Structure 1
Amino acid sequence: MGETRWKVHVDRDACVSSGNCVALAAERFELTDDGARPLQEILVADEAVVEAAEACPMEAITVVDAADGSEVAP
């Protein structure tokens, strides 16, 4: 069986560019002029991404299992 993969999405309308996601998972997110964005939309499961989603003050980050769409975070 392969590695678990997650799909990461940032709602740019909700994002206020707090930078929490970058502070917690700099290798997974970046801040742009339009707010945060994931560096990869599909990635191998990484608990730092869950921490970043849970730390987002606007709950703008969603993480789902890429295989079945079940919610991982927030």
Structure 2
Amino acid sequence: MVAIIDRDECIGCGACVEDCPVDAISMDGDNIAVVDADKCIDCGICVDSCPTEAISME
């Protein structure tokens, strides 16, 4: 499994970037979160930290 960002729901707050323990999430040029699937360890911390529920595990 890997974290998936719903680009329509992401507000660019950066909470997931700050909370990811392996730095697998960054912000793109549109200030939307992007997940590096090779780094993601499927911990789900980002899911819990997202205030708009824009992140799911798939």
Does the pair score TM above 0.5? yes
Q: CA deviation at 1:40?
A: 1.2
- Percent of matched pairs sharing the same residue: 25
Deviation string 1:30-66 (CA, Å, 9 cap, x unpaired) is 0112300101178443x2xx111111011000013xx
- Which ranges of structure 2 fall in alignment gaps of 5 or more residues? none
Query: 2: distance between equivalents of 1:51 and 1:42?
Result: 14
Determine the structure 2 residue equivalent to 1:17: 12
Query: 2: distance between equivalents of 1:15 and 1:41?
Result: 21
Determine the structure 2 residue equivalent to 1:72: none
1 or 2, which has the higher strand percentage? 1
Determine the structure 2 residue equivalent to 1:55: 49
Per the normalisation by structure 2, the TM-score is: 0.78
Per the normalisation by structure 1, the TM-score is: 0.63
- Which ranges of structure 1 fall in alignment gaps of 5 or more residues? 1-5, 65-74
Q: Which of these residues, 15, 33, 36, is aligned with residue 36 of structure 1?
A: 33
